[in-house]
A and B are shown apart, each in its own frame.
Chain A
């Protein structure tokens, strides 16, 4: 019996230690799980936002390729600015008017070398643009480097500012 009692006491001690170890383990594991989950949610949100920005970018260039002023109207923020390859600044209303009237017409436009950076509800995109078209009856186009700032407004990403610079011919 004595031996048995000793055995039971040992077992109790063993179980008590196990409980303490379990509690200690939970103490470290639970917060880690919570942090992991939070980080994953944050990463998902960031990843989701970046994906949405890339989607907006695709829609923007598709709209430019179609000279679709109605689609561009939705993508350009009300205070949108563009500095074109001549260093001239234009805003949303004259830009859309030029596209609507056919004064500015793209025959083709594409982009590559895209980099997207996120900061809260702002995204910064750098890219290379290749275009061909006409402005006031004159041929325009070439290769350009661009920087664009997008902001999430009322749940959707809009283009706030863009600038292009002609890539120097090497």
Chain B
């Protein structure tokens, strides 16, 4: 009987150790690992990359092994070193990490601005990477990597999510970059029409705080260099008089693809009673 109990205890303990989910600190460490991997590639740090990639690493969809991946990374590094003005600018965000003590899946968005886009013009490309990691000899190593480019619909969906995040964080740089120069808006509260300059000035002095927001009923239509997104944004927070608000607003956003990237051309909100 004692042995049976011991076997049960050991089985559950081992299973918990092997298959249990990791905590927030582990996820933070994995994100730091992922960013360090990216930095090692940018800096051409071959030694760091040698330890980051597992010997049996495989990159998809190109079926590229560790040696070929290292060579390709170093070749890009040398090209960028020789001609830094032409180097692609890449940023990573929207991390999602799941892990057990010995395995992890990291996925994140990549926003890459290249000078050599379509027609030799600057273009911003969005991709999503999925990395598979294992802990070997006490250290995380990348055993697999898959990536795919995001289509226009996914990019526009992300832009709406980013817009919500920028609203919550009062991230002026997002609005500055993503509102087209000839942008217009119609306010859901006053129906007042505003230009980009007017809206940015308003945002700078706005004392209201959006604590939470969410999107629903999203519909995205794309036709060439134009896109129309409709949906409902639900937001909660405190207004400029520090009074709580809970609003649901229907919106129509018109985007245009200009200078190789999607920009907000017009937005209008209508309050749902």
Chain A contacts to B: CB under 8 angstroms: 79, 81, 83-89, 115, 117, 119-122, 124, 126, 144-147, 149, 151, 160-168
- Is B265 in contact with A83, judged by CB distance below 8 angstroms? no
Q: Do A83 and B252 contact each other (CB < 8 Å), given the known contacts A89-B230, A120-B225, A145-B191?
A: yes
Pairs across A and B, CB under 8 Å, 5 listed: A87-B232, A87-B270, A161-B230, A163-B270, A165-B269
Residues of B contacting A167 in the complex (Cβ-Cβ under 8 angstroms): 190-191
Nearest-CB distance from B180 to chain A (Å)? 9
Q: Which of B66-74, B95-103, B181-189 contacts A (4 or more CB under 8 A)?
A: B181-189
- Is A165 in contact with B186, judged by CB distance below 8 angstroms? yes
Beyond the given A88-B272, A147-B267, A164-B270, please list 7 additional residue pairs across the A-B interface where CB-CB is below 8 A: A81-B228, A83-B250, A83-B252, A87-B248, A87-B273, A161-B252, A165-B191
Residues of A contacting B192 in the complex (Cβ-Cβ under 8 angstroms): 145
Residues of A contacting B191 in the complex (Cβ-Cβ under 8 angstroms): 144-145, 165-168
CA distance A79 to B232 in the complex (A): 18
The 7 closest A-B pairs by CB, nearest first: A87-B272, A87-B250, A145-B191, A163-B252, A165-B191, A147-B268, A122-B226
Q: Do A147 and B266 contact each other (CB < 8 Å), given the known contacts A81-B228, A119-B225, A121-B224?
A: yes
- Is B184 in contact with A124, judged by CB distance below 8 angstroms? yes
Does B215 have its Cβ within 8 Å of any Cβ on chain A? no
- Is B186 in contact with A117, judged by CB distance below 8 angstroms? no
Please encode chain B, from 165 to 202, with 1 for each CB lying within 8 Å of some chain A CB and 0 for all others. Answer: 00000000000000000101011111111000000000
- Is A124 in contact with B230, judged by CB distance below 8 angstroms? no
Does B209 have its Cβ within 8 Å of any Cβ on chain A? no
Residues of B contacting A84 in the complex (Cβ-Cβ under 8 angstroms): 270
Residues of B contacting A120 in the complex (Cβ-Cβ under 8 angstroms): 224-226
CA distance A88 to B272 in the complex (A): 8
- Is B221 in contact with A145, judged by CB distance below 8 angstroms? no
Chain B contacts to A: CB under 8 angstroms: 182, 184, 186-193, 217, 219, 221, 223-226, 228, 230, 232, 248-252, 254, 256, 258, 265-273
- Is B254 in contact with A161, judged by CB distance below 8 angstroms? yes
A151 touches which one: B188, B226, B232, B251 (CB < 8 A)?
Answer: B226
Q: Do A119 and B226 contact each other (CB < 8 Å), given the known contacts A83-B250, A126-B186?
A: yes
CA distance A86 to B230 in the complex (A): 15
Residues of A contacting B221 in the complex (Cβ-Cβ under 8 angstroms): 79, 160-161
CA distance A43 to B213 in the complex (A): 43
Nearest-CB distance from A20 to chain B (Å)? 36
Residues of A contacting B270 in the complex (Cβ-Cβ under 8 angstroms): 83-87, 163-166
Residue of B nearest to A125 (CB): B266
Nearest-CB distance from A71 to chain B (Å)? 23
Residues of B contacting A126 in the complex (Cβ-Cβ under 8 angstroms): 184, 186, 193, 266
Q: Do A163 and B184 contact each other (CB < 8 Å), given the known contacts A89-B217, A144-B191?
A: no
Nearest-CB distance from B257 to chain A (Å)? 9
Nearest-CB distance from A154 to chain B (Å)? 12
Residues of A contacting B186 in the complex (Cβ-Cβ under 8 angstroms): 126, 145-147, 163, 165
CA distance A161 to B228 in the complex (A): 7
- Is A117 in contact with B182, judged by CB distance below 8 angstroms? yes
- Is A151 in contact with B258, judged by CB distance below 8 angstroms? no
- Is B223 in contact with A151, judged by CB distance below 8 angstroms? yes
Nearest-CB distance from A145 to chain B (Å)? 4
Nearest-CB distance from A95 to chain B (Å)? 14
Residues of A contacting B184 in the complex (Cβ-Cβ under 8 angstroms): 115, 117, 124, 126, 147
- Is B193 in contact with A145, judged by CB distance below 8 angstroms? yes
Residues of B contacting A165 in the complex (Cβ-Cβ under 8 angstroms): 186-188, 191, 268-271
Residues of A contacting B189 in the complex (Cβ-Cβ under 8 angstroms): 168
- Is B252 in contact with A87, judged by CB distance below 8 angstroms? no
Nearest-CB distance from B202 to chain A (Å)? 16
Residue of A nearest to B272 (CB): A87
B265 touches which one: A88, A119, A168 (CB < 8 A)?
Answer: A119
Q: Select the residue from A121, A149, A164, A167 with max chain B CB neighbours within 10 A.
A: A149
- Is A124 in contact with B266, judged by CB distance below 8 angstroms? yes
Residues of A contacting B228 in the complex (Cβ-Cβ under 8 angstroms): 81, 149, 160-161
